């Protein structure tokens, strides 16, 4: 068993001593109040991560200039109103021995003029992407004013009890827009050569140091590379890091990319922990101040090696700290099997952050409820959970942890439901980690698990449960199309589960996420694959960052596409389909046809048993086939109130 000696050694960053190397990086969470103060939920959220033994906790990007508020639930430090609520967070974290850093940000060209009530600003009037506002070019005089805003915000952070501030200089935001020749086309003293492009950063550091009088640590968040042609690459960023050290910065927090390449900012499932580690190591070689590395770290083993090799000094566990706020504590106590893993699905965190909604987490349904901890049931009940997918498993352990007597029934011989099969396509193996962690938690909590048992009304009469949770999931969607019931047609779930084999030349019917991932699975195995889809685009329902890599699989494996095609008839060797102009076509000559048009809810029991057990709940895909995020969310909602 690994002891994580390096991860649990203290470190000095400027005037601040951090007890270990585990860091919570800044992540937008939309828990703040609309007036720019932090809420009680914010306090509970950060406090929980301090209880979990993270040594340094970084508060999400906090707005430093009045006209730069990018979202309705962003905290602000451009006036004194937020100091009191910040103090509650720092007190809660200090109580657990954690240090608190607060990220100071002006989103610049990545901001939102409508939310801010003022034009967004940047080094040059270049929109960050299609559909984004064109920013105003900051006047030379105004640049000097903006510098003061950083100093004042840092002073307020210090008054609010922060041990450090982190100046945001990454991801294409305001400071980064000055730093990079890709976005800075100025010809005043803030444009042109390296020194001029870095002038804004230097002035900010000097101002922040002056206002905080060396009492708190001053860090900078920088990119390891922008991942853009003509932008700052890793060599440039080594020079930037060295320059910032000369400016007096106490530490560097090294992230990666601008939003155009946000698959490197929050990497999806198939990208492994520490995917930017070597780029950060190059920067670490150029400076003598502490360096924080970040990038899809989930388990502490690799983090320990990074510190041991001297490639970084601290490791930030971003989404993993959402999935399991007690990650460091579990590492310290050698309880790694108890970890709830982040599977980088991006469903609850990034999607909600962008939508302005409070973040939540597929694997950790407790996220966002830290202010209302799970209460023991007043009256323990006999609870029957029907279905061993992620909805059933999470409902079972939550109900058990509240003190109920819980039995989970699974009709098959393996747990995990359709989520287990979702782990089979390329790059999705981490999903298995989540399912295993749920099974382990049920076993550890003492949930009784009964396998190979189809629940009937007779069994319910015999067992007499007080409460039933139906989590029977979903089955392959079979639309009323001629020939669809031909036994030669292979269901995608049977293919992934190894129950049926496909021939060399394959037609996958359905080009949503399920069909596309099935096609990639076959492509990786060197089948000749074609996908047919009703919509004009394949993978239209796939989250952007995942889709980037899925479409790369399509390219690498030469997967062909037929789009805008309504399938009217199935044959053993293909299909007949109709295009928008009403013309019918045939695509035939395949060795196998795979049905992957999605899933539909499977709920054979509700009507039969609701009179037997008045307290009957239905959750997850048994209501309607959706995302796993909905399943675990509903499991929490139901199991926490039984």
Q: Where in 545-601 does DSSP place strands (E)?
A: 560-562, 566-571, 574-578, 584-587, 592-595, 599-601
Q: How far is CA 88 from CA 25, 28, 95, 153, 242, in A?
A: 19, 19, 11, 17, 35
Strand-pairing partners, residue 164, are: 101, 217
Task: Write the DSSP assignment of 361-414 as a string of letters.
Answer: -SS-TTTT-TTSPPPPPSS--EEEEE--BHHHHHHHHHHHHTT-EEEEE-SSSS
Pairing of strands 574-578, 584-587: antiparallel
Q: Please name the residues in contact with 450: beta carbons below 8 A apart, sequence gap of 6 or more.
A: 407, 408, 409, 410
In the residue annotation, 173 being an active-site residue is answered as yes
Q: Alpha-carbon dihedral of residues 137, 185, 151, 249, nearest 10 degrees?
A: 160
Question: How many whole angstroms separate alpha carbon 514 and alpha carbon 520?
Answer: 10
Q: How far is CA 245 from CA 287, 288, 614, in A?
A: 7, 8, 66
Two tokens, residue 151: 């100093």
* Residue-level length of the chain: 642
Residue tagged active-site, from 78, 173, 438, 577? 173
Question: How many whole angstroms separate alpha carbon 259 and alpha carbon 270?
Answer: 19
Contact 307, 284 (CB under 8 A): no
Closest among 470, 458, 444 to 383, alpha carbons compared: 470
Question: How many whole angstroms separate alpha carbon 276 and alpha carbon 278?
Answer: 6
Question: How many whole angstroms separate alpha carbon 109 and alpha carbon 132?
Answer: 8
Q: 3-state class of 591 per DSSP?
A: coil
Residue 320, Cβ density class (10 Å: 0-12 exposed, 13-18 middle, ≥19 buried): buried
Handedness of CA 530, 531, 536, 541 (dihedral sign): negative
Contact 404, 395 (CB under 8 A): no
For the beta carbon of residue 246, count every other beta carbon within 10 angstroms: 11
Handedness of CA 186, 187, 193, 195 (dihedral sign): negative
Task: Write the DSSP assignment of 194-263 as a string of letters.
Answer: HHHHTHHHHHHHHHHHHHHTTSSEEEEEEES---STTS--HHHHHHHHHHHHHTT--EEEEE--BGGGTT
Two tokens, residue 301: 């083993």
Active site residues: 173
């Amino acid at each position: 068993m690994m002891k994580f000696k390096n991860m649990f050694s203290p470190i000095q960053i400027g005037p601040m001593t951090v007890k270990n190397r585990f860091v919570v990086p800044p992540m937008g969470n939309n828990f703040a109040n609309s007036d720019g103060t932090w809420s009680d939920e914010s306090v509970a959220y950060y406090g929980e991560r301090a209880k979990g033994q993270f040594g340094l906790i970084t508060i999400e990007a906090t707005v430093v200039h009045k006209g730069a508020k990018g979202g309705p639930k962003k905290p602000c430090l451009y006036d004194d109103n937020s100091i009191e609520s910040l103090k509650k967070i720092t007190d809660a974290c200090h109580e657990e021995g954690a240090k608190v850093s607060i990220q100071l940000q002006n989103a610049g060209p990545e901001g939102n003029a409508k939310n801010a009530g003022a034009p967004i600003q940047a080094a040059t009037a270049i929109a960050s992407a299609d559909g984004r506002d064109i920013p105003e070019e900051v006047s030379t005089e105004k640049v000097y004013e903006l510098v003061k805003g950083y100093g004042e915000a840092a002073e307020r952070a210090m008054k609010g009890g922060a041990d450090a501030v982190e100046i945001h200089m990454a991801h294409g935001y305001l400071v980064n827009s000055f730093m990079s020749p890709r976005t800075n086309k100025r010809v005043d003293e803030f444009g042109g050569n390296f020194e001029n492009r870095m002038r804004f950063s230097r002035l900010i550091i000097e101002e922040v140091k002056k206002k905080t009088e060396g009492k708190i640590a001053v860090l900078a968040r920088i990119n390891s590379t922008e991942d853009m042609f003509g932008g700052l690459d890793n060599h440039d960023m080594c020079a930037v890091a060295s320059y910032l050290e000369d400016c007096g910065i106490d530490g560097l927090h090294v992230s990666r990319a601008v939003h155009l390449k946000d698959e490197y900012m929050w990497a999806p499932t198939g990208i492994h922990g520490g995917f930017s580690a070597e780029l950060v190591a190059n920067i670490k070689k150029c400076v003598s101040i502490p360096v924080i590395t970040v990038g899809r770290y989930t388990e502490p083993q690799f983090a320990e090696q990074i510190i041991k090799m001297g490639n970084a000094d601290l490791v930030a566990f971003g989404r993993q700290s959402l999935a399991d706020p007690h990650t460091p504590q579990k590492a310290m106590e050698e309880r790694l099997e108890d970890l709830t893993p982040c599977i980088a699905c991006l469903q609850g965190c990034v999607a909600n952050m962008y939508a302005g909604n409070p973040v939540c987490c597929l694997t950790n349904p407790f996220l966002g409820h830290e202010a209302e901890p799970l209460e023991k049931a007043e009256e323990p009940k006999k609870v029957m959970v029907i279905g061993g997918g992620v909805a059933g498993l999470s409902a079972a352990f939550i109900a058990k942890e509240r003190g109920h007597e819980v039995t989970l029934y699974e009709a098959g011989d393996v747990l995990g439901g359709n989520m287990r099969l979702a782990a089979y396509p390329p790059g999705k193996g981490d999903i298995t980690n989540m399912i295993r962690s749920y099974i382990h938690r049920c076993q550890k909590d003492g949930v009784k698990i009964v396998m190979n048992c189809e629940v009937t009304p007779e069994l319910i009469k015999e067992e007499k449960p007080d409460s039933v949770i139906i989590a029977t999931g979903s089955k392959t969607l079979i639309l009323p199309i001629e020939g669809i019931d031909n036994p030669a047609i292979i269901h995608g779930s049977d293919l992934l589960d190894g129950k049926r084999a496909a021939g060399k030349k394959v037609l996958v019917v359905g080009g949503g996420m399920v069909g596309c991932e099935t096609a990639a699975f076959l492509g990786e195995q060197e089948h000749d694959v074609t996908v047919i889809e009703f919509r004009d685009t394949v993978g239209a329902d796939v989250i952007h960052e995942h889709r980037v890599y899925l479409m790369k699989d399509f390219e690498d494996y030469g997967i062909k596409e037929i789009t805008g095609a309504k399938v009217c008839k199935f044959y053993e060797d293909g299909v007949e389909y109709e295009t928008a102009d009403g013309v019918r076509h045939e695509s035939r000559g395949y060795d196998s046809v795979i049905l992957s048009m999605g899933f539909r809810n499977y709920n054979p029991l509700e009507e039969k048993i609701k009179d037997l057990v008045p307290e009957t709940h239905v959750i997850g895909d048994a209501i309607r086939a959706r995302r796993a995020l909905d399943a675990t969310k509903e499991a929490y909602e139901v199991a926490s109130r039984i």
